[in-house]
Amino acid sequence: MKFYSYFNMFTKSVALLALVAMSLAPAITNAGTFSWGDIAGTNVTFLDVTENNGGASSLFAPMPGMGGPIAIGDILHLDPQGFASQSANNSADIIDSQLSTTIMAGSGSSIEDITITELGDYSLGGLTGGQASAQVGAAFFWTILEIDNTAVSMATQATNLILGTGGGPNGGIYSRPSDDGTAVIWSGTASIDLGSYLDSLQIDGDVTKVRLTFDNTLQTSADDVSTAFIKKKSVDIEVNTETTIPEPTTALLLGLGIALVPCCRRRSL
């Protein structure tokens, strides 16, 4: 009887621990939506990091519960999993995914600017005279939610990923035969200067919370004698912060220092 009692207690404990782990772990909220929760950096926190691609698995990072984005200082690093497009034999393919997060500055800090860097490779090849293309693009949408820790209502702004190679207005379009190659590296950046944006509007203050959403797209096409492949391999969201107000302890010490100055002066008289 004691054995069965201990066994029941053990199984109940395991079940309870499993439930607790499930409640604490990031979750798949619905089909095609994957949430990794809040990820804390050094001076900022990336709130509710979520991907939506309409598919069965995440593309920007490992599935929730199996890894996910990580913070390195104030950089949110994403390790794309299977974020690729390929075509051959008179076909075309497109893959798209959206990532969103709210970036919140820590106590005594403000968000000055954000730089997104993306990296990957492409391959184009086939018989002479064939046609194929591989393309990468991304659109970034950002909205300032707080200035000096006070909620504000401001218009959403947008910018694009800019690549140093390839055709198109923002680069990133590679075609046969001029861009033929295997595992050719591509990279691009997008910059969001929040401080300059506020200055342009003659708004005095510092950004303490901003919403960031962006769509990434890869597409390929190829005729019957060509192949095209392109993959996203790394995404970094780097936040540059500034110190805006002293920390509570620092402010207290400064206050005490100022208060002691008259006393010291009186003693010296």
- Position 111 in a domain: yes
Identify the bridge partners of residue 162 per DSSP, sorted by sequence position.
189
Residues in contact with 78: Cβ distance below 8 Å, sequence separation at least 6, in sequence order: 60, 61, 69, 99, 234, 235, 236, 237
- Position 231 in a domain: yes
Distance in angstroms (rounded) separating the CA atoms of residues 123 and 227: 8
Q: What is the pLDDT of residue 245?
A: 58
Q: What is the pLDDT of residue 246?
A: 53
Distance in angstroms (rounded) separating the CA atoms of residues 57 and 200: 41
- Give, as one character, the DSSP assignment of residue 46: E
Number of domains in the chain: 1
Q: What is the pLDDT of residue 259?
A: 45
Model confidence, pTM: 0.81
- Position 23 in a domain: no
Residue 61: domain span: 36-259
- Position 251 in a domain: yes
Mean pLDDT in runs of 10 for the chain (269 residues)?
46 41 45 93 98 95 93 97 96 98 97 98 97 98 97 98 96 98 98 97 96 98 98 98 66 44 42
Distance in angstroms (rounded) separating the CA atoms of residues 30 and 260: 60
- Position 11 in a domain: no
3-state DSSP assignment of residue 156? coil
Q: What is the pLDDT of residue 166?
A: 97
CB burial of 120-135 (b: ≥16 within 10 Å; e: otherwise) equals bbbbbbbeeebbbbbb
3-state DSSP assignment of residue 66? coil
Q: What is the pLDDT of residue 57?
A: 94
Q: What is the pLDDT of residue 6?
A: 45
Q: What is the pLDDT of residue 244?
A: 79
- Position 97 in a domain: yes
Q: What is the pLDDT of residue 263?
A: 43
CB burial of 104-118 (b: ≥16 within 10 Å; e: otherwise) equals bbeebbbbbbbebbb
The sign one gets for the Cα dihedral 142, 145, 147, 153 is positive
- Position 22 in a domain: no
- Position 113 in a domain: yes
